[in-house]
Amino acid sequence: MDCSLLRSLINRYCAGEENWVDSRTIYIGHREPPSGADVYIPQRYPDNRIVSSKYTFWNFVPKNMFEQFRRIANFYFLIIFLVQLIIDTPTSPVTSGLPLFFVITVTAVKQGYEDWLRHKADNALNQCPVHIIQHGKVVRKQSRKLQVGDIVLVKEDETFPCDLIFLSSSREDGTCFVTTASLDGESSHKTYYAVQDTKAFHTEQEVDMINATIECEQPQSDLYKFVGRINIHQDRDEPIARPLGSENLLLRGATLKNTEHIFAVVIYTGMETKMALNYQSKSQKRSAVEKSMNTYLIVYLCILISKAVINTVMKYVWQSDPNRDEPFYNHKTDSERQRNMILKVITDFLAFMVLFNYIIPVSMYVTVEMQKFLGSYFITWDDDMFDSELGEGALVNTSDLNEELGQIEYVFTDKTGTLTENNMEFIECCVDGHIYVPDAICNGQILTGTVGMDMIDCSPGAGGKEQEELFFRALCLCHTVQVKEEESVDGIKKGLHPCGKSSSVYISSSPDEVALVEGMKRLGFTYLRLKDNHMEILNRDDDIERFELMEVLSFDSVRRRMSVIVKSSTGEYYLFCKGADSSIFPRVIIGKVDQVRARVEHNAVEGLRTLCVAYKTLAQDEYESVCKQINTAKLALQDRDKKLAEAFDVIERDLILLGATAVEDRLQDKAADTIESLQKAGMKVWVLTGDKMETAAATCYACRLFHRNTQILELTTKRTEEQSLHDVLFDLSKTVLRHCGSLTRDTLSGLSHDVPDYGLIIDGATLSSVMKPTEEGSSGNYKEIFLEICRNCSAVLCCRMAPLQKAQIVKMIKTSKEHPITLAIGDGANDVSMILEAHVGIGIMGKEGRQAARNSDYAIPKFKHLKKMLLVHGHYYYIRISELVQYFFYKNVCFIFPQFLYQFFCGFSQQPLYDAAYLTLYNISFTSLPILLYSLIEQHVNMDILKRDPSLYRDIAKNSLLRWRIFIYWTFLGLFDAVVFFFGAYFLFDNTTFTSNGQLMTANTNMMFGNWTFGTLVFTVLVFTVTLKLALDTQYWTWINHFVIWGSLLFYVVFSLLWGGIIWYVTFLTWVILLAALMTASGSFIMWFCSSYQAILSLCSFSQKEEIVRQTTAFIKCYILK
């Protein structure tokens, strides 16, 4: 081969690494830039093929096997199977191979089928035709052949084939509407903007003429972030650079709406599209039950190993007598005699392991998985959690955490949209101390008769009038609301009221803004539309005012404000700014700050959301410098956000205060009832909100998180300014602990009203100083003290929280020393971090989009559904799975322990007690269905009672049904039953104890007991007992339970008749049933006795209880002494 070719090949393949850069350069239409531009760096991009499938035809078997055997359980069974294949073991490899093969095959078939579906979907997607522009003509091409730099034509209702930069649209203003329903579930129409300098190119030929390069970041998975820059070359001039943001980026998977067609250029293809990058599954969450299950497994593994060790040792002790080792009737072969001693010991040990390996059954994993998967359907099916307004019920995104819902100790909830409706209502505004209330409140109550508005204070003077109108204009202009002309908007983001005659509806991602614009409309200023970058306002005199929109300094949760810069028809530049009071007041230089502040505080206490409005006028040169600042920041490829924030900070200064607004956010239906129930159920409810303290506190009172007699402890910046944080913390902890010491356990259990309970309010700033690792020398760790205070407060309110702080709080509680189980519930993008952090994350399908619901483990339509979710479903799932786990261990102890005992009677020769078919089928078919059905439909307490009495939730708190005590009880019950089966059968057989025989016969048939029959008798009694035990534990007998329990017993009878040729003599059956009934009853005695004893005790008062306990112990002592 030619050397140079080789070298160039090598260079090409190594180039990827050398030239790895943070950004990529794309030549629109593959047109190379005129000379003088940067050196052309060829980058290789993947083609536009989407591969969501995992396997190909060729690698399916090895890859799937590898994936499956990576699971520790499968691997264990594989090892057992291999041991059986290699050495001479008592049971045939089939007994463990068959179940394993079955599980592996079913899983493989299922995964294969799913993958086939994915292949099909991929193919359909990859082959669907797209229109691209080549040499000024529209060409059809398969989607997978798209390349970075191609110019694409997308028509209405088509889905974007890859990530595109929007060049031009059929609409005059260079916008297009897009729905991202399949990406994030938001079905509302979003507006995207074409690049300013290319939006004029409307035909194929024109578009093909564009000579520009795009520089943008390498693909990243955040759907809502994008930074890039477009350089447009015109006539050999210096290229014009324009910023590109997420408003220019059309994402693969989104659909074009209400726009005839658009032209766009491909920038990310195939697996590099944001949609594909979002395929990655979230990190695994494991439930507490799963953790304890694994612990138990380890215990059983130890039991298994110790059993094998005991038997191996016993075997060699027993064999030391040569007459036993090799009696005359049972000689060894020569090769057996000559085998190496160590090898023999190892072989024997492994053989015993194999013999007892059924104690950890394959089927448990299968059953648990199935229980979780099938059980989760009950959540989706639940009619009570269906919201007819939304048309959706609860969603289950992961079924692994069902039982964790019954274990929650801390609930972290967002306020806006979660506790409240996020359905904003404009209440009033305050301009320079004058208060305006629109005539009608949402539900149509007329407050005052005056037309348009009601002035509470005296009419303002002429200057006041001007201020007032400026204020109204400010609110009409300073927003990002869009106007939807048609009435038929699908989706949920409608404006509140299509008020009367007007057919236009306001749409915005922030309901506050809609409420404000609606409110302004009622006060006489109607925002009409944004046309050609001009905002049109209909003022009180029915005149249309036009303002040119120059810049939007968009809202973010750190700045907590937004601004617009507009140019009035008279040519003046205005900057209008609205935002939270805390972010506006420090920036104000002129205005009646005190009056407005007083009103804002008054409103906040009422639970209203307040915003302040300010403005400033800009001179032409000022405006130009502002423009420059913003543009440089926008063009930055790195740290764009930071630079923008800095620029905004400089611009939004020296404002003139106009006034404040108040918007009401009503509480969600039954929010108070839900919170109260959760608290009664022993959960600590924390509200984490970005709102200001007064508003949040008012909401907390309204939803009964705080009661009238709740003693509020404040840990806010205001207090830490007066005292040092250290002192405040110590003060608080002293107050809390003083009372706590006097509390007894019994009073804690109820929400008794005479004991003062504490509520803590903390704000974000203080929290971050608490969380900060303390410097050396300072005494004690603040975090610990803070946690101590929180532990003793019944409710905590954290206000002024940044999204990340929410997650930090959850993490802090999660990792505190009790390791409580946490739940986070929220509806917006700012709650995602805490939803991901908490043990269980619940998303509300709210108004702020679907991000929370998408990232959550469960999604519910309304906050009130949380009550049923936790108190009913969580409770049931926990009870069910814990019984499932315990019962599984129990039934396998029962199953295997007789086998262990039998070794003592067969010279430790690893002779199995049961027939191979029984060994294999015991867990697969004879005893599997009843417990699965039990774990799906058992209800030990009626659903309505669970809802009515939340304190029942405390019964299962702290993983109480999987404590060691209960685990040991079940294990010993299993051991006891096993001993009874074995020796019961033994005594029936043993003729030294009883004078009679163990032979059963009818008139014409004799039946001899061989070892096979002995095993079968033990096994039959075992199957009956284990099934009857479950029947005893079942407290909810539907026809399904009857069918499955009696059906599986009948199946066993029929099977053993056909397989083993057991002729079910009446005698044999009678014996079996008698024995099994005996065993079940005696095994349940202790439990029955305990439960009825407790039932009686629970009826008595405390003093009586003590008396009974004392008397009982005395009685028992007496009895023993006798």
| Residues with catalytic roles | 414
State which of residues 183, 350, 360, 658 lies at the interface with other proteins (CB under 8 A).
183
Stretch that binds other proteins, among 434-442, 549-557, 654-662, 1073-1081 (CB under 8 A): 1073-1081
State which of residues 29, 219, 393, 579 lies at the interface with other proteins (CB under 8 A).
393
1062 in Cβ contact with 1019 (< 8 Å): no
Report the site for other proteins in 629-688 (rule: CB under 8 A): none
State which of residues 75, 1091, 1110, 1113 lies at the interface with other proteins (CB under 8 A).
1091
- The reply to whether 8 sits near other proteins by the rule CB under 8 A is no
3 state DSSP class of 368: helix
- The reply to whether 966 sits near other proteins by the rule CB under 8 A is no
Report the site for other proteins in 478-537 (rule: CB under 8 A): 490
Q: Residue 193 or residue 318: which is nearer to other proteins going by CB?
A: 318
In the complex, the smallest distance separating the C-beta of residue 335 from other proteins, rounded to whole angstroms, is 8
Stretch that binds other proteins, among 37-45, 183-191, 263-271, 541-549 (CB under 8 A): 183-191
3 state DSSP class of 163: strand
Report the site for other proteins in 534-553 (rule: CB under 8 A): none
The first and second tokens of residue 298, run together, are: 């380890």
State which of residues 92, 107, 774, 816 lies at the interface with other proteins (CB under 8 A).
107
- The reply to whether 459 sits near other proteins by the rule CB under 8 A is no
State which of residues 114, 172, 457, 624 lies at the interface with other proteins (CB under 8 A).
114
Report the C-alpha gap between 1016 and 73 in whole angstroms. 29
Q: Residue 199 or residue 484: which is nearer to other proteins going by CB?
A: 484
User: Can you list the positions of beta strands (E) in 682-757?
Assistant: 684-688, 711-715
Q: Residue 195 or residue 1018: which is nearer to other proteins going by CB?
A: 1018
CA atoms within 13 A on the CB side of 653: 9
State which of residues 87, 181, 489, 751 lies at the interface with other proteins (CB under 8 A).
181
Report the site for other proteins in 327-356 (rule: CB under 8 A): 327-334
State which of residues 193, 976, 1009, 1051 lies at the interface with other proteins (CB under 8 A).
1009
Query: What's the angle, vertex CA 449, arms to CA 445 and CA 453, rounded to 5?
Result: 90
The residues, any chain, with a CB within 8 Å of residue 1037's CB and separated by 6 or more, are none
- The reply to whether 127 sits near other proteins by the rule CB under 8 A is no
767 in Cβ contact with 783 (< 8 Å): no
The residues, any chain, with a CB within 8 Å of residue 293's CB and separated by 6 or more, are 368, 885, 962
Binding mask 28-67 for other proteins (x = CB under 8 A): ----------------------x-x-x------------x
In the complex, the smallest distance separating the C-beta of residue 456 from other proteins, rounded to whole angstroms, is 46
Beta bridge pairs of residue 193: 175
- The reply to whether 1006 sits near other proteins by the rule CB under 8 A is yes
3 state DSSP class of 153: strand
State which of residues 537, 564, 937, 956 lies at the interface with other proteins (CB under 8 A).
937
The residues, any chain, with a CB within 8 Å of residue 225's CB and separated by 6 or more, are 246
State which of residues 60, 378, 730, 1055 lies at the interface with other proteins (CB under 8 A).
378
- The reply to whether 1070 sits near other proteins by the rule CB under 8 A is yes
In the complex, the smallest distance separating the C-beta of residue 718 from other proteins, rounded to whole angstroms, is 45
State which of residues 4, 35, 340, 388 lies at the interface with other proteins (CB under 8 A).
388
Report the C-alpha gap between 252 and 261 in whole angstroms. 16
- The reply to whether 1051 sits near other proteins by the rule CB under 8 A is no
State which of residues 31, 118, 225, 814 lies at the interface with other proteins (CB under 8 A).
118
Residues binding other proteins: number (CB under 8 A)? 145
Alpha carbon distances (Å) from 821 to 285, 340, 840 = 12, 54, 8
In the complex, the smallest distance separating the C-beta of residue 489 from other proteins, rounded to whole angstroms, is 12
Binding mask 75-94 for other proteins (x = CB under 8 A): ---------------x----
In the complex, the smallest distance separating the C-beta of residue 305 from other proteins, rounded to whole angstroms, is 21
Sign of CA dihedral 694, 696, 700, 706: negative
- The reply to whether 217 sits near other proteins by the rule CB under 8 A is no
Report the site for other proteins in 260-279 (rule: CB under 8 A): 275-276, 278-279
293 in Cβ contact with 884 (< 8 Å): no
In the complex, the smallest distance separating the C-beta of residue 628 from other proteins, rounded to whole angstroms, is 41
State which of residues 451, 571, 1098, 1119 lies at the interface with other proteins (CB under 8 A).
1098
- The reply to whether 587 sits near other proteins by the rule CB under 8 A is no
Stretch that binds other proteins, among 264-272, 466-474, 731-739, 1008-1016 (CB under 8 A): 1008-1016
- The reply to whether 68 sits near other proteins by the rule CB under 8 A is yes
How is the beta sheet containing 137-142 ordered, strand by strand?
A: 137-142, 129-134, 151-155, 261-268, 163-169, 249-250
State which of residues 161, 228, 243, 253 lies at the interface with other proteins (CB under 8 A).
253
3 state DSSP class of 661: strand
Q: Residue 13 or residue 1037: which is nearer to other proteins going by CB?
A: 1037
The first and second tokens of residue 701, run together, are: 């009172």
User: 271, 268, 184, 274: which is closest to 221 by C-alpha?
Assistant: 274
- The reply to whether 930 sits near other proteins by the rule CB under 8 A is no
* Tokens 């395929």 belong to residue: 279
Alpha carbon distances (Å) from 1050 to 917, 1023, 1056, 1078 = 17, 11, 10, 20
3 state DSSP class of 19: coil
Q: Residue 120 or residue 642: which is nearer to other proteins going by CB?
A: 120
Q: CA dihedral defined by 199, 202, 203, 207, rounded to 10 degrees?
A: 0
- The reply to whether 106 sits near other proteins by the rule CB under 8 A is yes
In the complex, the smallest distance separating the C-beta of residue 1010 from other proteins, rounded to whole angstroms, is 4
Report the site for other proteins in 867-896 (rule: CB under 8 A): 876
Rg (CA), the chain: 37
What ranges in 832-915 are assigned the alpha helix state H? 832-837, 851-855, 865-867, 875-903
Q: Residue 758 or residue 897: which is nearer to other proteins going by CB?
A: 897
413 in Cβ contact with 687 (< 8 Å): yes
The residues, any chain, with a CB within 8 Å of residue 438's CB and separated by 6 or more, are 426, 428, 453, 519, 522, 523
Q: Residue 110 or residue 540: which is nearer to other proteins going by CB?
A: 110
In the complex, the smallest distance separating the C-beta of residue 225 from other proteins, rounded to whole angstroms, is 19
User: Can you list the positions of beta strands (E) in 678-743?
Assistant: 684-688, 711-715
Q: Residue 100 or residue 660: which is nearer to other proteins going by CB?
A: 100
- The reply to whether 1096 sits near other proteins by the rule CB under 8 A is yes
- Which long-range CB contacts under 8 A does 991-994 form with residues at least 24 apart? none
- The reply to whether 221 sits near other proteins by the rule CB under 8 A is no
In the complex, the smallest distance separating the C-beta of residue 725 from other proteins, rounded to whole angstroms, is 43
- The reply to whether 949 sits near other proteins by the rule CB under 8 A is yes
In the complex, the smallest distance separating the C-beta of residue 1078 from other proteins, rounded to whole angstroms, is 6
The residues, any chain, with a CB within 8 Å of residue 15's CB and separated by 6 or more, are 42
- The reply to whether 1046 sits near other proteins by the rule CB under 8 A is no
Three-state SS for 20-67 is CCCEEEEEHHHCCCCCCCCCCCCCCCCCCCCCCCCCCCCCHHHHHHHH
- The reply to whether 1075 sits near other proteins by the rule CB under 8 A is yes
In the complex, the smallest distance separating the C-beta of residue 1043 from other proteins, rounded to whole angstroms, is 12
The residues, any chain, with a CB within 8 Å of residue 119's CB and separated by 6 or more, are 53
Report the C-alpha gap between 249 and 541 in whole angstroms. 41
- The reply to whether 281 sits near other proteins by the rule CB under 8 A is yes
